[in-house]
Structure 1
Amino acid sequence: MALIHKATIRPTKLELLDAWAPSQPWFEGEADTGLTLVASFRFDDPDGEVGIETLLVRAGNGPVLQVPLTYRGAPLEGGDAWLITTMEHSVLGPRWVYDAEGDPVYRAALATTVLTGGREADQYVESDGAPVLRESTATVVGSGSDAEGPAGKARIDLVRAPDTDAPDLPPVTDGSQTEILTATWTDRGTRSATRVLARVRILDTKVQASPHRHHHIDYIELAVLDVVDAKNFYSEAFGWTFVDYGPEYAGIRDLAVEGGEIGGLRLAEAVHSGGPLVLLFSDDLDASVTRVLAAGGKIATGPYEFPGGRRFHFMDPSGNELGVWAKH
């Protein structure tokens, strides 16, 4: 159950999204017209600490966009790259507003809803000291039937522009358990068709049990001039998350393996170019270019075609050169 307080919020949710959303790589629509709210829904935080709300919005005559948000009473540790702004709530006080894609509480709530066949939370509004059920403007349901939710590491693919019959989701080729979150909502007086909002994948437990293989490339370290700046860059550009080992080192989490790491950021006095080239894979190369630039990186070469697809190279804030490739 989500309890909604009658309160004044500054800035309002649409005001903060008007200032932030047009700069995001997934934004579509007329940036100068302002966003309008189409519908919304919430999930529950089992601990009751974090507000979890998804807004479905539109910019002008553009498509419906999915914007999940989390509201916190204190900053999310390691979440600077996902912070949108702070706002003042007349009942709850200052609130830190995050792009929920980077908030572990949202990701856990979404995965549980999808994998257990759950639905959106009931929303109640305080009226004369008593909760009154508010009619939902969006209905969501997960496709799964597991009784206990995620049994392994969940990989989540969000559909940011769900108002389509063919959501742009990367293909599933790893044999993982896969379920989806679907939704309908009322838009301009008409109930929408059922749309896909997200896909949740749980990797095969055999893959999770043996992440290390004899004589395979196992771990890559990047020398960086500032660990915090490097974490912020890679988090904003590619959604990486980290394990902190102090001010001089951060491990790069492996999202495919529970508790795993694929590399690290190591503090160094100098960074030398010309070493081995690390290549990342992308489902959308042009969107990756946009995110690298928005995060403060520089494009070194490309994008250009090669026999396997397309690629570009970029320089991170420390001067490391990495590449990104896609099949098309």
Structure 2
Amino acid sequence: MASLCRKPKLLSSLQEILNIVNITSHTLRHERNLEKIRALLANPTDRIHYNENIWNLGIIDNVDFKKSTFGYENIFDATRGHSHAILRMLFQFQMPESLNTLELQERAQNQQPLLFGQNSYSEQILNIFNSVFEKLLAFDENTFTYQTNFDGYDIRNQIMIYYKIGCDFPSPNIIILDAGDPPSNDLAVHECLKMYQNEIDSEYINVVADEAIFRRSISYCKKNEKTKMILGQWHTNKDMMSTLITIFSGYEIFNMAGILGVQFLDKLEKCVDFRATSRVLELIWVSVGIAINLYVKRKKETLNNILKENNIIKVWYLYFQWASYWRAHWFGIR
């Protein structure tokens, strides 16, 4: 009896035993009815916090429900029943100050924020990556020798030293809200976004979604400026890889991928396998970074003046620079 109580999967068996010996009068049907009643009476919006210092982050995604059994207890007679819905969640982060105060402070620090181009953070990331390559190469200007006893994993481990793992703020308040209709059309996604506005008393809300739902919500955000969509980090990273391949497709990047052993270049271009594509671009980034740093050391120049060199050096330095931003985003996810 003690072992049955400790194992959740055997609770149903324990209940049947207690029911047979007339210790309990509740049946499984009664428990299921109580579960349905509790689910209908539950109101997840009661757990939402309303405060000026709270930053609301919504997350919506497609969720599939499948029945645990097949029709007629035979998988060859009928397919398993399933249904789709839009899962809606809300993450509420407690900020040290109100959002309006934080926004004013950010505007004061950045008088003219740039939508595109480099900023102080991207320049800092690029300097860190360059310093890691210089440290591992240990180039000797007198003998023109350098170290070769390192690989991509060593570079990755050295870069991860500069990334702080973990969060400094307390755990957010997480609420699973009522699900929406299947995301088969734009109207269903728009209705889910409207539900957020009705449930949260805030000027605006940020909602994270995958690429499919993100595209369906663009038309809604154009009409409702209070709702701001954010593409998921994994999808953003995948789009960054696809952009790099497209930009440098005319500069022999496919030949370099072929040298690394890639056989299906069309799959690489479409980023079918995320891990494989990421690994290939990482190896190219490492090789280009080593070549660029050795070229600069032998020429006794700096990376700031490398864009004045010939077009070949200029192109692959830009690949190293833009791929560094992609790697920085990848390390931030990890």
The answer to whether TM tops 0.5 is no
Higher strand share: 1
* Superposition TM-score, scaled by structure 2 size: 0.25
TM-score by length of 1: 0.26
Between structure 1 and structure 2, the one with the greater Rg is: 2
Higher relative contact order (CA 8 A, sep 6+): 2
